[in-house]
Structure 1
Amino acid sequence: QNEQLSKYGDTKSARNIMLLELKKLIEANPLFRDKLVFPSFKTSRLRTLINQ
């Protein structure tokens, strides 16, 4: 198994980690700073959107 991938555990936690990292990258971009407000999704709603 890949050592970098093994630290994530299951797919749900890996997705959460990736989502948080992506959010940090977007917020760090000076073009988007103080211009975006991320919506709060219910977990089931986010899953529905991903599955579409």
Structure 2
Amino acid sequence: MAMAKYDLTPRIAPNLDQHLVFPLLEFTQERELYPDDQILKAKIKLLNNTNMVD
């Protein structure tokens, strides 16, 4: 969690296409930068507005 303060994902994600944000969320989940439940909620919110499936 110490590295989360250096993570730029929250700053650049609003400027990216939704389809590009999903791999970023996967990467942050693998690196355990944020709690899993927080990342899962972000993924669900992201996928609600698309036709993407995980």
For normalisation by structure 2, the TM-score amounts to 0.35
Structure showing greater radius of gyration is: 1
Which has a greater percent of helix?
Answer: 2
Bigger relative contact order (CA 8 A; separation at least 6): 2
